Amino acid sequence: MGSLACLNVTKKPLAKEIQTLESKFMQLGISKKGGVLASIKVKATFIEEIKAKQFKDETLNELRKKRVIDKDLQYEEEPIAILDCDVSKLRTKEIKSMKVQWKHCPVEEATWETEKDMRDKYP
């Protein structure tokens, strides 16, 4: 797409490109300094589609059903699965860690926690 900063009457392809953009939810105008101003028109049906899709994600619905957030806007995560284990070897000791999947989070958001911390928090 060409530059829309300057509109010259002799450049026909740029004018056609602007007309094409105008037909696709964009409103274009020329400023006092000669530049092109663009604004996007949003239809109400598009917003309604987005709102309808919000409720299809089951993890979001599960959080809405339960009131798990306290007054400080914090909540306690609960581990539901251990996905992987690893041992980091230092010079004098070994640190065991595990990849934990948390409740209300997808597998991609699993975190590595030390075994000691997990045993202390969740006996």
Question: Residue 95: inside a domain, yes or no?
Answer: yes
Question: Residue 101: inside a domain, yes or no?
Answer: yes
Question: Residue 66: inside a domain, yes or no?
Answer: no
DSSP H helical ranges for the chain:
12-22, 44-54, 58-65, 115-121
Question: Residue 108: inside a domain, yes or no?
Answer: yes
Which CATH number is 99's domain given? 2.40.50.40
Question: Residue 112: inside a domain, yes or no?
Answer: yes
- Which tokens is 100 given? 């934990």
Which residues constitute the domain of residue 112?
79-121
Question: How many domains is the chain built from?
Answer: 1
Question: Residue 110: inside a domain, yes or no?
Answer: yes
What is residue 4's predicted lDDT score, i.e. its pLDDT? 46
Question: Residue 104: inside a domain, yes or no?
Answer: yes
pLDDT interval class at 75 (50, 70, 90) = confident
In the chain, pLDDT over 70 holds for what percent of residues? 53
Angle subtended at Cα 81 by Cα 61 and Cα 95, rounded to the nearest 5 degrees: 135
Q: Which secondary-structure segment (H or E) carries 77?
A: none
Distances (CA, A) of 26 to 37, 39, 40, 42, 110: 10, 6, 4, 9, 41
Q: pTM score, two decimals?
A: 0.43
Question: Residue 92: inside a domain, yes or no?
Answer: yes
In this predicted model, what pLDDT tens digit does every residue of 10-58 receive, in sequence order? 545 555 555 555 455 566 677 777 676 666 666 667 677 777 776 666 6
